[in-house]
């Protein structure tokens, strides 16, 4: 797998340090929430590694709800729109504080869609946290309270991010070699 990576964009040590910082920021903001008032809502599957590490940095009593969504099916390298495949949340969100967690913010459609679905259930507050935000207008204009890293508009994999369901297990975030993408697209076309 490593030979498919053009370069490491963010190494695992830098990711770990930033997640510790994000945890502190979130605790500073949300640490006074009453017991059972915080619900983490990771967007699966890309955020699985991020949310596992981030929640260990949050010494707050919390619950977890899951949302499964896809916007990069198969070998897509650009968002194909949001396919919301399932939401597993507590029945009542009244009086709860929601923290949506996602791996990457680019088009903004996934977070906006999940946020609107949750808003319909009348929580006290909704905030978002992403590991990566692309420096493109659609991402920069989407409300997001906690951002790990702002990155250029490159296709990245690793640390939960995938290409055709591969590379999620890389501990670093890297830029996938262009010829790997072209080869996969050619295979799909035949």
SS3 69: strand
- Cis amide linkage into residue 124, ω under 30° from 0: no
Q: Which of 102, 103, 106, 172 is catalytic?
A: 106
The CATH label, of 3.40.50.2020, 3.40.50.300, 1.20.1340.10, 3.30.70.660, for the domain at 11-154 is 3.40.50.2020
Per-residue pLDDT of the chain (190 residues; tens, 9 = 90+): 788 999 999 999 999 999 999 999 999 988 777 666 689 999 988 899 999 999 999 988 888 998 887 665 555 555 555 566 666 677 778 888 999 999 999 989 889 989 988 998 889 999 999 999 999 999 999 999 999 999 999 999 999 999 988 999 999 999 999 888 888 777 766 5
Concerning whether 106 is annotated as a catalytic residue, the answer is: yes
Q: What global pTM score does this model have?
A: 0.87
């Amino acid at each position: 797998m490593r030979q498919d990576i053009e370069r490491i964009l963010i190494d695992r040590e830098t990711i770990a340090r930033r997640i510790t910082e994000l945890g502190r920021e979130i605790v500073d903001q949300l640490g006074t929430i009453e017991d059972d008032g915080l619900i983490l809502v990771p967007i699966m599957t890309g955020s699985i590694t991020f949310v596992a590490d981030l929640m260990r940095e949050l010494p707050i009593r919390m619950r977890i709800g899951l949302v499964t969504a896809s916007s990069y099916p198969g070998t897509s390298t650009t968002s194909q729109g949001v396919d919301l495949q399932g939401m597993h949340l507590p029945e009542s969100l009244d009086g709860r504080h929601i923290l949506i967690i996602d791996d990457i913010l680019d088009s903004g459609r996934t977070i906006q869609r999940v946020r609107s679905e949750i808003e319909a259930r009348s929580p006290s507050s909704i905030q978002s946290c992403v590991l990566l935000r692309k420096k493109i207008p659609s991402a920069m204009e989407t409300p997001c309270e906690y951002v790990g890293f702002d990155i250029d508009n490159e296709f990245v994999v690793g640390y939960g991010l995938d290409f055709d369901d591969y590379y999620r297990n890389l501990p670093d975030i890297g830029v996938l070699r262009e010829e790997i993408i072209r080869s996969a697209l050619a295979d799909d076309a035949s």
